[in-house]
Amino acid sequence: MQVPKKHFPIVGLLGLVVVAAAGGGVYYYQFVLSHATVTYTPSHRLVFMTAIVQEEGGFHIYNTAFLNQSNLPEFNVTAGANMAGVNSQKYRGESDNKTLDAHVGDTVTFYILAKNATSTDSNLHLTDAHSFQIAGTGSFTVDSSANSPGILPSGKIPFNTWYSVTVKFNSGGSYTYLCTFVTVCSPQHGFMTGQIVVS
Alpha helices (H) along the chain: 9-27
Q: What CATH number belongs to 44-198? A: 2.60.40.420
Distance CA 155, CA 79 (A): 19
pLDDT per residue as tens digits for the range 59-102: 999 999 999 999 999 999 999 999 999 999 999 999 999 999 99
Closest CA to 68 of 86, 47, 92, 94: 86
Long-range contact list for 77-84, CB < 8 A, 24+ apart?
A: 77/161, 77/162, 77/163, 78/161, 78/162, 79/162, 80/48, 80/111, 80/113, 80/162, 80/164, 81/46, 81/48, 81/111, 81/162, 81/164
Q: Which amino acid is at 93?
A: G
Question: Which sequence spans correspond to the domains of the chain?
Answer: 8-37, 44-198
pLDDT per residue as tens digits for the range 35-70: 667 678 999 999 999 999 989 999 999 999 999 999
Note the pTM of the prediction, 2 decimals: 0.77
